[in-house]
Amino acid sequence: MAQHPFRLLNVFTVDGDPFSGNPLCVFENGQPFSAAEMQSLARQFNLSETTFILPASESAASRRVRIFTPSFEMPFAGHPTLGTAHVVRDLIGGSDSVVLEMKAGLVDVVATANDWTLRAASKPTTRTPDASRAELARMLDIDRDTLGETPLWVDTGAEQLIIPVTSPEAVRRARPSAEELDRHGFSKKRGASMAYVWAHAAPGEVVARFFFLANGGVVEDPATGSACANLGGWMIATGQSLPVRLSVRQGEAIRRPSVLQLHVDEQERIFVGGSVREVGRGSLALG
Protein backbone atom coordinates (compact mmCIF):
# COMPACT_ATOMS: atom_id res chain seq x y z
CA MET A 1 0.00 0.00 0.00
CA ALA A 2 1.13 3.55 -0.69
CA GLN A 3 2.22 5.50 2.40
CA HIS A 4 1.16 9.14 2.66
CA PRO A 5 3.16 11.11 5.25
CA PHE A 6 1.49 13.76 7.36
CA ARG A 7 2.42 16.00 10.27
CA LEU A 8 0.42 17.19 13.27
CA LEU A 9 1.03 20.73 14.47
CA ASN A 10 -0.40 23.21 16.93
CA VAL A 11 -0.62 26.83 15.78
CA PHE A 12 -0.86 29.99 17.92
CA THR A 13 0.60 28.15 20.90
CA VAL A 14 1.17 29.84 24.26
CA ASP A 15 4.49 29.86 26.15
CA GLY A 16 5.66 26.59 24.65
CA ASP A 17 2.67 24.60 25.89
CA PRO A 18 2.39 21.67 23.43
CA PHE A 19 -1.36 21.38 24.04
CA SER A 20 -2.22 25.01 23.38
CA GLY A 21 -3.14 26.57 20.05
CA ASN A 22 -5.21 25.17 17.20
CA PRO A 23 -4.42 21.64 15.91
CA LEU A 24 -3.65 21.08 12.23
CA CYS A 25 -2.87 18.09 10.02
CA VAL A 26 -0.63 18.71 6.99
CA PHE A 27 -0.15 16.12 4.24
CA GLU A 28 3.32 16.57 2.78
CA ASN A 29 2.28 15.51 -0.73
CA GLY A 30 -1.30 16.07 -1.85
CA GLN A 31 -0.73 15.02 -5.47
CA PRO A 32 -2.08 11.46 -5.14
CA PHE A 33 -5.44 12.67 -3.84
CA SER A 34 -8.53 13.86 -5.64
CA ALA A 35 -10.55 16.69 -4.11
CA ALA A 36 -13.08 14.13 -2.88
CA GLU A 37 -10.32 12.13 -1.20
CA MET A 38 -8.92 15.28 0.42
CA GLN A 39 -12.38 15.99 1.80
CA SER A 40 -12.63 12.43 3.11
CA LEU A 41 -9.23 12.69 4.80
CA ALA A 42 -10.21 15.96 6.46
CA ARG A 43 -13.33 14.22 7.74
CA GLN A 44 -11.20 11.28 8.92
CA PHE A 45 -8.94 13.51 11.04
CA ASN A 46 -11.88 15.71 12.10
CA LEU A 47 -9.73 18.70 12.97
CA SER A 48 -10.89 22.20 12.16
CA GLU A 49 -8.67 22.06 9.04
CA THR A 50 -6.42 19.64 7.17
CA THR A 51 -4.10 20.87 4.41
CA PHE A 52 -2.47 19.31 1.37
CA ILE A 53 0.81 20.54 -0.13
CA LEU A 54 1.03 20.55 -3.94
CA PRO A 55 3.48 21.86 -6.56
CA ALA A 56 2.92 25.54 -7.27
CA SER A 57 1.26 26.57 -10.51
CA GLU A 58 2.61 30.14 -10.21
CA SER A 59 6.34 30.85 -10.43
CA ALA A 60 6.25 33.24 -7.46
CA ALA A 61 4.91 30.58 -5.10
CA SER A 62 6.92 28.10 -3.05
CA ARG A 63 4.05 25.59 -2.98
CA ARG A 64 0.32 25.40 -3.62
CA VAL A 65 -1.94 24.54 -0.68
CA ARG A 66 -5.52 23.29 -0.42
CA ILE A 67 -7.38 23.65 2.88
CA PHE A 68 -10.29 21.46 3.94
CA THR A 69 -12.52 21.49 6.99
CA PRO A 70 -14.40 18.23 7.68
CA SER A 71 -17.26 19.69 5.62
CA PHE A 72 -15.88 21.91 2.85
CA GLU A 73 -12.83 23.46 1.19
CA MET A 74 -11.70 26.94 2.24
CA PRO A 75 -9.99 29.53 0.02
CA PHE A 76 -7.91 30.82 2.95
CA ALA A 77 -7.51 30.23 6.66
CA GLY A 78 -4.96 31.59 9.10
CA HIS A 79 -3.71 28.76 11.25
CA PRO A 80 -3.48 26.33 8.30
CA THR A 81 -1.39 28.90 6.46
CA LEU A 82 1.11 29.32 9.29
CA GLY A 83 1.29 25.62 10.10
CA THR A 84 1.67 24.60 6.46
CA ALA A 85 4.40 27.22 5.95
CA HIS A 86 6.25 25.62 8.87
CA VAL A 87 6.17 22.26 7.05
CA VAL A 88 7.04 23.77 3.65
CA ARG A 89 10.13 25.43 5.15
CA ASP A 90 11.35 22.02 6.27
CA LEU A 91 10.57 20.36 2.95
CA ILE A 92 12.32 22.95 0.76
CA GLY A 93 15.41 23.36 2.89
CA GLY A 94 14.98 25.89 5.65
CA SER A 95 13.97 29.23 4.08
CA ASP A 96 12.34 31.58 6.58
CA SER A 97 10.27 33.17 3.81
CA VAL A 98 7.74 31.20 1.77
CA VAL A 99 4.91 32.12 -0.57
CA LEU A 100 1.86 29.87 -0.49
CA GLU A 101 -0.51 29.73 -3.43
CA MET A 102 -4.11 29.44 -2.25
CA LYS A 103 -7.51 29.88 -3.81
CA ALA A 104 -7.66 33.34 -2.19
CA GLY A 105 -4.35 34.32 -3.81
CA LEU A 106 -0.65 34.33 -2.97
CA VAL A 107 0.09 34.56 0.75
CA ASP A 108 3.51 35.74 1.97
CA VAL A 109 4.61 34.01 5.18
CA VAL A 110 7.82 34.75 7.11
CA ALA A 111 9.35 33.23 10.22
CA THR A 112 11.61 34.10 13.10
CA ALA A 113 12.51 30.68 14.51
CA ASN A 114 9.09 29.07 15.05
CA ASP A 115 7.09 32.30 15.14
CA TRP A 116 5.33 32.76 11.80
CA THR A 117 3.59 35.80 10.32
CA LEU A 118 1.36 35.98 7.25
CA ARG A 119 0.20 38.95 5.26
CA ALA A 120 -3.47 38.76 4.29
CA ALA A 121 -3.78 38.04 0.58
CA SER A 122 -6.75 40.33 -0.03
CA LYS A 123 -7.68 43.90 0.80
CA PRO A 124 -10.72 43.87 3.10
CA THR A 125 -14.20 44.13 1.71
CA THR A 126 -17.12 44.74 4.05
CA ARG A 127 -20.88 44.77 4.16
CA THR A 128 -23.47 45.61 6.79
CA PRO A 129 -25.35 42.70 8.40
CA ASP A 130 -29.01 42.31 7.47
CA ALA A 131 -29.75 41.44 11.12
CA SER A 132 -30.66 44.21 13.54
CA ARG A 133 -28.65 44.86 16.69
CA ALA A 134 -31.41 43.25 18.72
CA GLU A 135 -31.27 40.15 16.52
CA LEU A 136 -27.49 39.91 16.81
CA ALA A 137 -27.67 40.24 20.60
CA ARG A 138 -30.33 37.54 20.72
CA MET A 139 -28.20 35.34 18.46
CA LEU A 140 -25.34 35.56 20.98
CA ASP A 141 -27.65 35.41 24.00
CA ILE A 142 -26.20 38.62 25.43
CA ASP A 143 -27.83 41.88 26.57
CA ARG A 144 -28.42 44.30 23.72
CA ASP A 145 -26.59 47.10 25.55
CA THR A 146 -23.39 45.01 25.64
CA LEU A 147 -23.26 44.85 21.85
CA GLY A 148 -20.51 47.15 20.56
CA GLU A 149 -20.52 49.55 17.64
CA THR A 150 -20.54 48.58 13.98
CA PRO A 151 -20.86 44.81 13.53
CA LEU A 152 -19.68 44.04 10.00
CA TRP A 153 -19.21 41.22 7.57
CA VAL A 154 -15.50 41.41 6.64
CA ASP A 155 -13.59 39.48 4.00
CA THR A 156 -9.79 39.42 3.71
CA GLY A 157 -9.83 35.96 2.18
CA ALA A 158 -12.68 34.23 4.05
CA GLU A 159 -15.81 36.23 4.87
CA GLN A 160 -16.87 36.27 8.54
CA LEU A 161 -19.26 38.22 10.76
CA ILE A 162 -17.18 40.40 13.10
CA ILE A 163 -19.11 41.50 16.21
CA PRO A 164 -17.56 43.84 18.79
CA VAL A 165 -18.94 43.78 22.34
CA THR A 166 -18.29 46.12 25.21
CA SER A 167 -16.30 43.93 27.62
CA PRO A 168 -14.43 40.64 27.98
CA GLU A 169 -17.27 39.51 30.27
CA ALA A 170 -19.72 39.90 27.39
CA VAL A 171 -17.43 37.78 25.20
CA ARG A 172 -17.35 35.07 27.86
CA ARG A 173 -21.15 35.15 28.31
CA ALA A 174 -21.90 34.58 24.62
CA ARG A 175 -23.91 31.38 24.09
CA PRO A 176 -25.18 31.39 20.49
CA SER A 177 -27.95 29.00 19.54
CA ALA A 178 -27.56 26.96 16.37
CA GLU A 179 -30.88 28.20 15.00
CA GLU A 180 -30.08 31.90 15.51
CA LEU A 181 -26.50 31.53 14.28
CA ASP A 182 -27.73 29.83 11.13
CA ARG A 183 -30.31 32.58 10.58
CA HIS A 184 -28.20 35.67 11.25
CA GLY A 185 -24.62 34.43 10.86
CA PHE A 186 -25.00 32.73 7.48
CA SER A 187 -22.63 33.86 4.72
CA LYS A 188 -24.00 33.24 1.24
CA LYS A 189 -20.49 33.83 -0.06
CA ARG A 190 -19.10 31.05 2.14
CA GLY A 191 -22.17 28.83 2.38
CA ALA A 192 -21.51 28.59 6.12
CA SER A 193 -22.61 30.21 9.39
CA MET A 194 -20.22 31.83 11.86
CA ALA A 195 -19.61 34.74 14.23
CA TYR A 196 -16.42 36.26 15.69
CA VAL A 197 -17.08 38.02 18.99
CA TRP A 198 -14.40 40.25 20.50
CA ALA A 199 -13.70 43.00 23.02
CA HIS A 200 -10.76 45.08 24.20
CA ALA A 201 -9.42 43.62 27.45
CA ALA A 202 -6.55 46.05 28.07
CA PRO A 203 -4.43 48.42 25.97
CA GLY A 204 -3.10 46.35 23.10
CA GLU A 205 -5.01 43.23 24.13
CA VAL A 206 -8.21 41.64 22.82
CA VAL A 207 -10.29 38.68 23.97
CA ALA A 208 -12.14 36.83 21.19
CA ARG A 209 -14.25 33.76 20.47
CA PHE A 210 -15.20 32.24 17.12
CA PHE A 211 -18.38 30.18 16.73
CA PHE A 212 -19.47 28.15 13.72
CA LEU A 213 -21.94 25.42 12.86
CA ALA A 214 -20.96 21.78 12.35
CA ASN A 215 -23.35 18.82 12.11
CA GLY A 216 -26.23 21.02 13.25
CA GLY A 217 -24.56 22.25 16.44
CA VAL A 218 -22.48 25.24 17.55
CA VAL A 219 -18.72 24.60 17.70
CA GLU A 220 -16.07 26.95 19.09
CA ASP A 221 -12.68 27.33 17.42
CA PRO A 222 -9.51 27.51 19.57
CA ALA A 223 -7.80 30.09 17.34
CA THR A 224 -8.95 31.65 14.08
CA GLY A 225 -6.28 33.40 12.04
CA SER A 226 -8.61 34.36 9.19
CA ALA A 227 -10.97 36.03 11.68
CA CYS A 228 -8.02 37.83 13.25
CA ALA A 229 -7.16 39.16 9.78
CA ASN A 230 -10.79 40.20 9.38
CA LEU A 231 -10.57 42.02 12.70
CA GLY A 232 -7.76 43.98 11.05
CA GLY A 233 -10.14 44.66 8.15
CA TRP A 234 -12.75 45.84 10.67
CA MET A 235 -10.17 48.26 12.12
CA ILE A 236 -9.56 49.72 8.66
CA ALA A 237 -13.26 49.88 7.71
CA THR A 238 -14.27 51.65 10.93
CA GLY A 239 -11.51 54.25 10.71
CA GLN A 240 -9.40 53.18 13.68
CA SER A 241 -6.09 54.99 14.12
CA LEU A 242 -3.24 53.15 12.40
CA PRO A 243 -0.90 51.44 12.99
CA VAL A 244 -2.64 48.91 15.23
CA ARG A 245 -0.88 46.17 17.17
CA LEU A 246 -2.99 43.75 19.18
CA SER A 247 -2.42 40.54 21.07
CA VAL A 248 -5.58 38.44 20.64
CA ARG A 249 -6.41 35.78 23.22
CA GLN A 250 -8.77 33.02 22.12
CA GLY A 251 -9.68 29.47 23.10
CA GLU A 252 -9.79 29.84 26.88
CA ALA A 253 -13.49 28.92 27.06
CA ILE A 254 -12.73 25.48 25.56
CA ARG A 255 -9.50 24.96 27.53
CA ARG A 256 -7.33 25.42 24.49
CA PRO A 257 -5.64 28.81 25.10
CA SER A 258 -4.17 30.51 22.04
CA VAL A 259 -2.49 33.83 21.31
CA LEU A 260 -2.56 35.56 17.92
CA GLN A 261 -0.67 38.72 16.99
CA LEU A 262 -2.42 41.27 14.77
CA HIS A 263 -0.65 44.17 13.08
CA VAL A 264 -2.27 46.66 10.69
CA ASP A 265 0.29 49.12 9.38
CA GLU A 266 -0.08 52.66 8.05
CA GLN A 267 -0.47 51.32 4.48
CA GLU A 268 -3.47 49.23 5.68
CA ARG A 269 -1.58 45.98 5.24
CA ILE A 270 -2.79 43.26 7.59
CA PHE A 271 -0.45 40.79 9.28
CA VAL A 272 -1.33 37.88 11.57
CA GLY A 273 1.27 35.91 13.49
CA GLY A 274 1.82 33.28 16.12
CA SER A 275 3.93 30.41 17.34
CA VAL A 276 3.89 27.00 15.60
CA ARG A 277 4.87 23.69 17.19
CA GLU A 278 5.09 20.31 15.50
CA VAL A 279 3.81 17.57 17.82
CA GLY A 280 3.82 14.43 15.70
CA ARG A 281 4.33 12.69 12.37
CA GLY A 282 2.80 9.65 10.76
CA SER A 283 1.74 8.09 7.52
CA LEU A 284 -1.55 6.87 6.19
CA ALA A 285 -1.78 3.63 4.23
CA LEU A 286 -4.33 3.76 1.44
CA GLY A 287 -4.84 1.44 -1.45
For residue 132, the model assigns a pLDDT of 97
User: Same domain, yes or no, for 82 and 207?
Assistant: no
Q: Is 250 left (phi over 0), alpha (psi -120 to 50) or beta?
A: beta
Domain that holds residue 177: 125-268
**Using one digit for the tens of pLDDT, what is the confidence trace for 18-50?**
999 999 999 999 999 999 999 999 999 999 999
User: Same domain, yes or no, for 160 and 110?
Assistant: no
User: Same domain, yes or no, for 133 and 58?
Assistant: no
User: Same domain, yes or no, for 90 and 138?
Assistant: no
Q: Which residue has the higher pLDDT, 204 or 16?
A: 204
For residue 168, the model assigns a pLDDT of 98
User: Same domain, yes or no, for 132 and 58?
Assistant: no
Q: Is the pLDDT of residue 274 over 90?
A: yes
Rounded distance, CA 282 to CA 278, Å? 12
User: Same domain, yes or no, for 130 and 263?
Assistant: yes
pTM for the complete prediction? 0.95
For residue 122, the model assigns a pLDDT of 84
**Using one digit for the tens of pLDDT, what is the confidence trace for 237-258?**
999 999 999 999 999 999 999 9
Q: Is the pLDDT of residue 287 over 80?
A: no
User: Same domain, yes or no, for 139 and 154?
Assistant: yes
User: Same domain, yes or no, for 129 and 264?
Assistant: yes
User: Same domain, yes or no, for 131 and 91?
Assistant: no
Structural contact between residues 170 and 146, judged by C-beta atoms closer than 8 angstroms: yes
**Using one digit for the tens of pLDDT, what is the confidence trace for 130-155?**
999 999 999 999 999 999 999 999 99
Q: List the end-to-end C-alpha distance of the chain, in Å, as a whole number.
A: 5
| Residues involved in catalysis | 49
User: Same domain, yes or no, for 34 and 153?
Assistant: no
Instruction: Find the angle CA(160)-CA(245)-CA(145) to the nearest 5 degrees.
Output: 55
Total of domains in the chain: 2
Q: What is the mean pLDDT of the chain?
A: 96
The conformation of residue 135, written as its DSSP 8-state character, comes to: H
User: Same domain, yes or no, for 191 and 111?
Assistant: no
DSSP result, 67-108 = EE-SS-EES--HHHHHHHHHHHHHHHT--SEEEEEETTEEEE
User: Same domain, yes or no, for 25 and 107?
Assistant: yes
Rounded distance, CA 84 to CA 131, Å? 36
CATH number at residue 259: 3.10.310.10
For residue 246, the model assigns a pLDDT of 98
**Using one digit for the tens of pLDDT, what is the confidence trace for 173-223?**
999 999 999 999 999 999 999 999 999 999 999 999 999 998 889 999 999
